[in-house]
A and B are shown apart, each in its own frame.
Chain A
Amino acid sequence: MAGGERAEVFSGFMVNAWVVATMVAVVGGAIGFFIVMRSSAFVAHAIPNGSFAGAAGATLVGANPLLGLAVFSLAGALGISLLGRRARHDVATALTLVFMLGLGSLFLSFRVEDAEAVYSLLFGEVLGIGSNQVWPTLALSLASLLALALLWRPLLLDSVLPGSARGSSRVRLELAFLVIVALATTMTVPVVGTALIFSLMVGPAAAARAFTVRPHVALALSVALAVVIVWIAIAWSYNTNWPIGFFVGALSASAFLIGRAWSVASRRLGGARHRAPAGELSP
């Protein structure tokens, strides 16, 4: 990489990209910690992916796409929560997702195919972020982080011992969590795309869990990894002109694999200490 290019990566309109992408990474990494704890990667996939239809619907009626994203991601969270009371959680998530996408295909069919816009919604357009996106993103990230901080202990307890919160309070907690995911989705999808936010929510957090058993450390590590991944991805994307989504996906998966290798190695070295209890028949 030439020195001149390196300087340019940090200059001009790129500053907005750095700032916004860093906020997205912080929020993604923090929410990801709970996504991994609660084994709800499917939800992290479904809400952003399904909310995409909202953007399509909003442009159809001439509204702000951000509004469409917000409405659809919240509706998705609500739908998953409502259906999930009756059915298995993964079935509820799948049905909600496909219905939102079905609506999306309907909205798209009314418009002349706008492939360029669809592509950037899916895979993000981090390099084209304007300064007008900085403040809304900042506000939404602060709201998400604040909500996570408020719910930190109940969420953690419920993730570890799913039976401890009962009945309606458990449903409310789950709904609150889904709404946080929806908030984060609204803010991040226009920036990094549905595909990316999912990678950022799963890979770094899953990797972090391999390195530490302490929740605060895991959270911090998850956020740090997400930020590093996004920074590297922006730099590489800028220099190669390849889509940033590729780098984020590949780096997240690599982080996860390194975490896996680490935990396998430490289990080998640690011997009996980490062995599964004799009674556990892993299915």
Chain B
Amino acid sequence: MATLLHAIVEPGFFSSAPVRLAAEMGALVAIVAAVVGVFTVVRGQAFSGEALGDIGATGGASAYLAGISSVWGFVGISVLAAAAMELIGVQRARGRDIATGVVLGAGFGLAALLIYLGTLQTSTSGSTVTILFGSPFTLSPSDLPLVLGFGALVLVTLAALYRPLLLASISPELAAARGLPVRLIGVAYLMALAVAVALSAVTIGAILSTALLVGPAATALALTNRPGRALALAAMIGVAATWLGLLLAYDSYYWPPRHHGWPPSFFIVALVLIGYLAVAARRGGGRRGAR
């Protein structure tokens, strides 16, 4: 038994301090992303999530130009982008797609400029890789309180707005008939999404931020028809995928032929997708292809 466990968990996994920090931060952002993600999937705003994460990552990576903490840079730029989407018209379901796209395009353009200007200053363009793939788990322990604070802010906001947000996500019409400020609720949600996505982009990378936002939530929604349970399940799936992915990435240092560490983001994304496919396949066919 011990040898089996030893074969799965390579020695040193639990005693390594960077791994522990990664596991803590990863779990934290996985929970926040999964909880926000349930509403994202229900509201059909996966593209907004992806775009805000990308913009946060591209712009935020250039935060060092201004000499501020990257957490502030990511979150600030993502929130600004969310505000721009809102102003352009992200509320109408049909215009939302285009508004999101235009802001994302402009954001990418700006990022190209900032990176170029950054290269002029530092004569390296190493940040580009960080931008696209994120740089999982390179934050310092001193960033943990900031990440914790923003994460808590998102969760508290969602808890406070839980019922109105749920009703407005199910049917804006029913919410409006009760006199709820549907648009304001939408803005508050979009801001929470921006912070959550930027947070995961800065901690674990832009790819993972979308994967952890959409994957666990979509899987949980296929498994249960109770909103409270969907939230809890999504959070658990997110944390499980993150930890298992970290474990595999750690193990992969010992894998033949090269003894080269595979990136955690690959494992986590693959696990999230496998989980989703397993649940979707179990549920079987006969489902209409929603657009």
- Could you tell me the distance between the alpha carbons of A97 and B54 in the complex, rounded to whole angstroms? 12
For the complex, count residues of B whose C-beta is within 8 A of A: 74
- Could you tell me the distance between the alpha carbons of A108 and B45 in the complex, rounded to whole angstroms? 29
Query: Which residues in A have their C-beta under 8 angstroms from that of B88?
Result: 256, 260
Query: Does A252 sit at the interface, judged by CB under 8 A?
Result: yes
Tell me whether B289 and A85 are in contact (CB under 8 A).
yes
- Could you tell me the distance between the alpha carbons of A245 and B113 in the complex, rounded to whole angstroms? 8
Closest to B120 in A: A241
Count of inter-chain pairs, beta carbons less than 8 A: 220
Distance (whole angstroms) from the CB of A263 to the closest CB of chain B: 11
Tell me whether A246 and B110 are in contact (CB under 8 A).
yes
- Could you tell me the distance between the alpha carbons of A94 and B182 in the complex, rounded to whole angstroms? 26
Query: Does B31 sit at the interface, judged by CB under 8 A?
Result: no
> Given contacts A87-B218, A249-B109, A283-B173, are A97 and B210 in contact (CB under 8 A)?
yes
User: Per a CB cutoff under 8 Å, which of A106, A115, A252, A253 touches B125?
Assistant: A115
- Could you tell me the distance between the alpha carbons of A91 and B132 in the complex, rounded to whole angstroms? 20
Distance (whole angstroms) from the CB of A88 to the closest CB of chain B: 5
Tell me whether B291 and A162 are in contact (CB under 8 A).
yes
Query: Does B106 sit at the interface, judged by CB under 8 A?
Result: yes
> Given contacts A41-B47, A122-B128, are A99 and B273 in contact (CB under 8 A)?
yes
- Could you tell me the distance between the alpha carbons of A247 and B108 in the complex, rounded to whole angstroms? 10
Among the listed stretches A60-68, A131-139, A194-202, A215-223, which one makes contact with chain B, having 4 or more residues with CB under 8 Å of it? A194-202
21 pairs, CB–CB < 8 Å, chain A vs chain B: A40-B97, A45-B104, A86-B280, A98-B211, A98-B215, A99-B270, A105-B133, A106-B262, A106-B263, A109-B260, A109-B266, A110-B260, A122-B128, A123-B108, A170-B289, A199-B105, A206-B98, A206-B102, A253-B106, A260-B88, A283-B182
Query: Lowest 8 A-B CB distances belong to which pairs?
Result: A249-B109, A102-B269, A41-B101, A199-B105, A245-B112, A283-B172, A195-B108, A246-B113
B residues apposed to A, CB below 8 Å:
41, 44-47, 49-51, 88-89, 91-94, 97-98, 100-113, 115-116, 124-129, 131-133, 172-173, 176, 182, 205, 207-208, 210-211, 213-215, 218, 258, 260-263, 265-266, 268-270, 272-273, 276, 280, 283, 285, 287, 289-291
A residues apposed to B, CB below 8 Å:
36, 39-42, 44-46, 52, 84-91, 93-95, 97-99, 101-106, 108-110, 113, 115-116, 118-119, 122-123, 162, 170-171, 195-196, 198-199, 202-203, 206, 242-243, 245-250, 252-253, 256, 260, 281-283
* Additional A-B contacts beyond A97-B210, A249-B110, A252-B105 (15; CB < 8 A): A89-B289, A93-B46, A94-B211, A102-B211, A105-B207, A108-B129, A115-B126, A119-B115, A123-B115, A195-B112, A202-B101, A243-B112, A246-B110, A250-B106, A283-B182
